[in-house]
Structure 1
């Protein structure tokens, strides 16, 4: 039999030396040839996608993923294009900043780990694309600083978690914590993906998120 005419299903197998042909991998149907090498194609990691439901009026939210591009023009691209978003505010180290009147562009990015007040003219769904721990390796995992007094923080996970598990050492200095949903403040017992929170602490500190939701 003429082996040169045989088609072999070698998907996900090595062909040639027992140790495998280095970095080459057969990844499709191939025509037999001794020590055949098929080039290995590297695929970039696909960033996860999540959504946040926004109601008309004020929403206290945070990004549960680390965005690929944190520019407000990118994060809120659909809402800006549709004209549904009116204003974005945050409060960091005792200072308000914002996007939209009356702040104009004193706030230009929406980063993970931070809480944001988003005022909507009508309901919409915010699609968030990014990474759960950090950008593809090599990259430094995130950390979020808090100051004495009030801080607007985010919750950087796609599943609920405990307050003490997420805040870590910061929790020992926690004096108050509030969330805001459907036009009313509440005292949370767990932290929810997509929500932002006011926290008051008595000492400065740093939040170091775990690999998985606490």
Structure 2
């Protein structure tokens, strides 16, 4: 029998997967502005299919074509463009396209952060131009600081995913469901124990990101 494929570093994957679940929170915010709400399921299904196909294509091709041996698969860089030499023309063109992609994605991320943060703290998605300016400066500053001092996209994804996912994937849904059961008089000990266990899983996932 082949050896069991188990690595102690598996929480790195769970942190990234938690971010994938957290993205649903952003998707809901975007879909609220659709003119035809009845098309949300169709549009979201198409978007997830195309994004998943793109990531699978890039991930599988890079992993399968990487020369192992002589090199180990662990030598693959987290940013797949870093696996190509700096003088490669196609990777340079790809970086240019990624720059334009980031220029279009940033306003979207800024909108999501503005709607969710400012509405939560001030009750209004646009309380004033000063609030929006400070928030945008904080977002840009955080991105520049990460690019300067911690240019590790995989680490950023799993740390942020585990942190945000702890609240929006593990804690909030469980607490809201438990509170709703309690108000309806239907809360039982098994249900309470299960949801406490879910919250502890999220906490363990976050702690594991900093230990491994």
TM-score normalised over the length of structure 2: 0.24
TM-score for both structures, normalised by structure 1: 0.23
Larger Rg: 1
**Which structure shows the higher helix fraction?**
2
